[in-house]
Amino acid sequence: MMGEPVIIKICGIKTYDLLDAVIEAGADMVGFMHFQRSPRHVSIEDLAGLISAARGQVQSCVVLVNPDNSCVAEVAALGPDWIQLHGPETPHRVAAIRAEAGVEIMKALPIGSAEDVAHIAAFTEVADRILVDAKPPKHADRPGGLGERFDWSLLKALDPSVPFMLSGGLTPDNAAEAIAAVQPFGVDVSSGVETAPGVKNKKLIEAFIRNARAAG
């Protein structure tokens, strides 16, 4: 693993201005949320333009939560590089979506216990990449770590041959520490580069990427 640059994904981008900032700062991937309940939600119309603008400059990833087949088809037709599944999708469902979409699939898996880490193995064959995230609080109205980090030492139990991206509570201040401690294939940040829910900050994005690059 050492020597390979860490893949950096900035998630929850909604505007062209911020997309440009993320590209200029040198991110590898940009994530767009297509999920009504998220403060980072982007409509299908806006997604089409953002994916086009990203093409050839940075890999685009559309985040969906338990999507139905028509939603998958609609998003896949826009030609993103990745679709990220961030809901309670089963391995069987992930495999079906990958077959139908014809797009690389990233599966986000919430980690709160050793049991959750053991559950990752069921997805390694059906997804192109695994993203580990903090388990949402019990009464959360949407999935994702919601800015919380989890106990990274749980990941020591993971098969070292499984490349994964790390998410959940990452910030410019702990990016380097996270990369050193966990040695992930990549890191994914959303709320850690925001000043309010859904409000990204250019300086925080630049600091996150700079610190992650220095560590990687």
| 136 to 49, 87, 168, 179: CA distances (angstroms) | 31, 11, 9, 22
Please pick, among 61, 133, 141, 173, the residue that the annotation labels catalytic: 133
| 69 to 75, 108, 153: CA distances (angstroms) | 10, 19, 36
Q: Catalytic: 11? A: yes
Q: Catalytic: 68? A: no
Q: How far apart are CA 116 and CA 200, in angstroms?
A: 30
Q: Which residues contact 173 (CB under 8 A, 6 or more apart)?
A: 211
Q: Where are the beta strands (DSSP E) in 56-163?
A: 59-64, 82-85, 104-111, 129-134
Q: How far apart are CA 200 and CA 75, in angstroms?
A: 23
> Mind telling me the catalytic residues?
11, 133
